[in-house]
Amino acid sequence: MDTDPVIAEQIAYYRARAGEYDDWWERRAEYDVGPEFGAAWKRDVAELRAWLERVEPSGDVLELAAGTGNWTAELARYADRITAVDSSPEVLEINRGKNGTERVEYVVADLFHWSPPRRYDVVFFSFWISHVPSDRWDEFWRLVEASLAPGGLVLFCDNAHPDHARRHGPVDWRVVAAIHQLDDVDGEFRWRRLRSGSTFRIVKRYWRPDDLVADLEERGWRAQAGHTTFAFLYGEATRRR
Ligand SMILES: C[S@@+](CC[C@H](N)C(=O)[O-])C[C@H]1O[C@@H](n2cnc3c(N)ncnc32)[C@H](O)[C@@H]1O
């Protein structure tokens, strides 16, 4: 268990949420906010998949915070080998059920207490950077650097900043976005409630592509990032020095 209470609570949240997580991704149950939103979400997921198809992340791939495996499945289309790391054994069990083959190795670990056993051709993380607290951001990118083989590629995607989503999303998204605004604790935290009724405080730092690129460039990465039509941010980075 991480001694940083912010990290520990976030780990606990995703462990408890394991069985509910895919309903968010598939826009089922309470996440189904209507056909217009559902169609726009699907289109944006297809845009992310097309991006990955262009990049073709082959070779020895490390997936950080791999979760229930919706992106492990995508990576498996290109990678020779995947190491999927996550702090929740519960989500990795679901991931294994979808993607478990001898090409995928599962590692239960808190990323802030984990060192890569080797260097990888590709380091991938989806819907993770928004959960890295500002005071662990530097440490996280040092882990990415330590995990990457010379000439290797970093790939990431996450939720788009709500300003982008509201501007470019379907009308019914604005209702959801308005609800989400109510759960602010402060700039970096949000409250989340599970079906059991338990509540957790998690980190949610939405990045804008330009800010993220500028931040990574300062850390010695050559980076590019952009948005899908409304829902997602995605990008790539390579080591400059
Ligand atoms: C929003 S989910 C994203 C999962 C997956 N990448 C996806 O796109 O569906 C965040 C994931 O981070 C994991 N996680 C949270 N804190 C972590 C930590 N300190 N170390 C490793 N994984 C962590 C959670 O268990 C969860 O699976």
Q: How many domains is the chain built from?
A: 1
Amino acid at 151: G
Ligand 1 close to Cβ of residue 123 (< 6 A): no
pLDDT beyond 70 at 1: no
Ligand 1 close to Cβ of residue 91 (< 6 A): yes
Which tokens go with 206?
A: 């939405």
| pLDDT given for residue 167 in this prediction | 87
Ligand 1 close to Cβ of residue 71 (< 6 A): yes
Confidence label for 165 from pLDDT (cuts 50, 70 and 90)? confident
Give me ligand 1 centre to Cα 10, in Å: 9
> What pTM value is reported for the model?
0.96
pLDDT beyond 90 at 208: yes
- Give, using CA atoms, the residue closest to atom 18 of ligand 1: 110
Give the mean model confidence (pLDDT) for residues 138-142: 98
CATH number at residue 119: 3.40.50.150
User: What helix, strand, coil percent values describe the chain, rounded to 5?
Assistant: 45, 25, 25
Note the pLDDT tens digit of each residue in 69-120.
999 999 999 999 999 999 999 999 999 999 999 999 999 999 999 999 999 9
| pLDDT given for residue 176 in this prediction | 64
Q: Are 157 and 127 in contact (CB under 8 A)?
A: yes
Residue 171 to residues 25, 45, 135: CA-CA distances in angstroms?
A: 19, 18, 35
Cα separation, 127 vs 65, whole angstroms: 8
Ligand 1 close to Cβ of residue 70 (< 6 A): yes
Amino acid at 22: D
- As a whole number of angstroms, the longest Cα–Cα distance in the chain is 48
Give me ligand 1 centre to Cα 169, in Å: 25
Give me ligand 1 centre to Cα 12, in Å: 11
Q: What angle do helix axes 89-99 and 5-25 make, rounded to 10 degrees? A: 30
Lowest average pLDDT, out of 24-33, 56-65, 99-108, goes to: 24-33
Give me ligand 1 centre to Cα 43, in Å: 24
Ligand 1 close to Cβ of residue 11 (< 6 A): yes
Confidence label for 162 from pLDDT (cuts 50, 70 and 90)? confident
Confidence label for 33 from pLDDT (cuts 50, 70 and 90)? confident
Ligand 1 close to Cβ of residue 111 (< 6 A): yes
| pLDDT given for residue 135 in this prediction | 97
How many residues can be counted in the chain? 241
- Angle (CA) 211-139-162 rounded to 5° is 35
Domain span at residue 141? 5-239
Torsion of CA 15, 205, 62, 71, to 10 degrees: 70
Q: Which residue from 74, 113, 71, 106 is spatially nearest to 90, judged by alpha carbons?
A: 106
Judged on CB neighbours under 10 Å (0-12, 13-18, 19+), 10 is buried
Give me ligand 1 centre to Cα 191, in Å: 16
Ligand 1 close to Cβ of residue 66 (< 6 A): yes
Cα separation, 190 vs 212, whole angstroms: 20
